[in-house]
Amino acid sequence: MTAAVLFENVSRHFGPVKAVDAVDLEVAAGEFFAMLGPSGSGKTTCLRLMAGFEQPTHGHIEIFGETAEGVPPYRRSVNTVFQDYALFPHLSILDNVAYGLMVKGVGKEERRKAAEDALAMVKLPGYGTRKPGQLSGGQRQRVALARALVNKPKVLLLDEPLGALDLKLREQMQEELKSLQKSLGITFVFVTHDQGEALSMADRIAVFNDGRIQQLGTPEDIYKRPQTRFVADFVGSSNVLSSATCAKLGIPSAAASLRPEAITIGTSWAEQLSLPGKVTARSFLGAVNRVSVDCNGEKIIVTSPAAMPVPDIGADVQLAFSRNDLHLMEEA
């Protein structure tokens, strides 16, 4: 099956800045794909390369098997939900949604009906006569979604779609987007800097840093088995053990990641690994306690269920964890 989006060794340079640097990427058809990374990591430029707002400096891009370089945005069956929504302020909501059909020459009655259907799909029926300025942020976001989906795009691009919404609305929209994507079967590619959003929504995640993909995999892969220190730091907050600590555990490796919730304090079973250390800080976070332990100069964070007793600051403790939870990384 052809990939929805294919990047082969794609770079986009702005003068001396390598915004995207030799990226290889394959988004499968019907997939919910997330590009995760801090600002300036190249994820948004990748999205703009897919939309056609940017052209690659080197490399090759295909959308459903067709070459996309040199094809303007208006000839791609790809639509975008913009971060600031970019609704046309001078047009009514209905005309905003019908815009794509209008410029393609669809008849007035037909496009009105299609736009109304699309508005109903995003749960805004009857809002057509209003102007964008009269809607709330969440409503504008839905209009932007309807405006893109009414064109039946092959790929829908979402640029930080939930960034401007408050927490509660964001969680609600996450679920709606996910179910919308399932029911429509359209390939969604979305950009976010929020790892929680990426983990909960995406089928697969590409983690970006400095214009390169650090790791590409399922949310579980990314979360449990970070391959680089950057991914371990950025996605959640894994402990990264140095090569010296690894050596002490009898494992030859440049570095290894260890999730805080995989560690227990105190008793270790025979088959478990253990490290001695001293408690330096502790805080109560509701469901869990968060304990900082100094192991020979290396700070290790442990989260333990709130029901478990917590040692006092300054106490000497043993940290125990399974070998399977320790993930070796190629680089320090």
- Contact footprint for other proteins (CB under 8 A): 51-53, 63-68, 70-80, 82-84, 86-90, 99-104, 106, 110, 114, 117, 131-134, 147-148, 150-152, 154
Query: 6 - beta bridge partners?
Result: 26, 62
How far, in Å, CA of 238 to CA of 227, rounded?
11
131 or 278: CB nearest other proteins: 131
Q: Compute the distance between CA of residue 209 and CA of residue 265 in angstroms, rounded to an integer.
A: 34
Residue 6 gets which letter from DSSP?
E
Q: Which is nearer to other proteins, 16 or 314 (CB)?
A: 16
Using an 8 Å Cβ cutoff, are 29 and 2 in contact?
Answer: yes
Q: How far is the CB of 76 from other proteins (least distance, A)?
A: 6
- Compute the distance between CA of residue 243 and CA of residue 254 in angstroms, rounded to an integer: 5
Q: Which residues pair with 273 in a beta bridge?
A: 321
Nearer to other proteins, 52 or 260 (CB): 52
Q: How far is the CB of 114 from other proteins (least distance, A)?
A: 5
Distance of closest approach, residue 121 Cβ to other proteins, in angstroms: 12
Q: Which is nearer to other proteins, 61 or 240 (CB)?
A: 61
CB nearer to other proteins: give 84 or 316. Answer: 84
- Shortest distance in whole angstroms from residue 154 CB to other proteins: 5
In whole angstroms, what is the distance from residue 204 CA to residue 92 CA?
Answer: 36
CB of 130 to other proteins, least distance (A): 11
Read out DSSP for 20-58? EEEEEEEEPTT-EEEEE--TTSSHHHHHHHHHTSS--SE
Supply the minimum distance, in Å, between the C-beta of residue 129 and other proteins.
Answer: 15
**Cβ–Cβ contacts within 10 Å for residue 196, how many?**
13
Q: Which is nearer to other proteins, 132 or 236 (CB)?
A: 132
Q: Would you call 17 exposed, middle or buried from its count of C-beta atoms within 10 A (0-12, 13-18, 19+)?
A: exposed
Q: Which residues pair with 35 in a beta bridge?
A: 191, 206
